Amino acid sequence: MKERKLTIFTPIYNRAYCLNNCYQSMRRQKNKRFIWIIVDDGSTDNLESLVSEWIVDESEFQIEYYRKENGGMYTAYNLAFEHIITDYWMCIDSDLSLIHISEPTRLALIS
């Protein structure tokens, strides 16, 4: 397995209903050399069981799940930062999706 250089983290509270779109957008990425950290800020919905299924089923990229007492978004950020081991990181909200930009499009954007 190739070295992972990027961590994507998602702080989340009671939004399991919308996280699947975010997850599916990550599955559509051509380059899956990233780690996805999900920080559950004390949710009372079915988030933990949903993510547990993905962790078992997902083989193309690494998913890490951390649960904490509800303390707000920035405490969730702090917990994510404690677990980031890659050179680069980014945050994506639970209701957002990553777009896939093809290689020719990327080259056109930077030239």
Residues 32-78: tens digit of each pLDDT: 889 999 999 999 999 999 999 999 999 999 999 999 999 999 999 99
HSE at residue 67, side-chain half, CA atoms within 13 A, is 11
pLDDT at 62: 95
CB 63 within 8 A of CB 51: yes
Single pTM value for the model:
0.86
Tokens of 97: 């999706």
- Residue 34 and residue 4: Cα distance in Å, rounded? 5
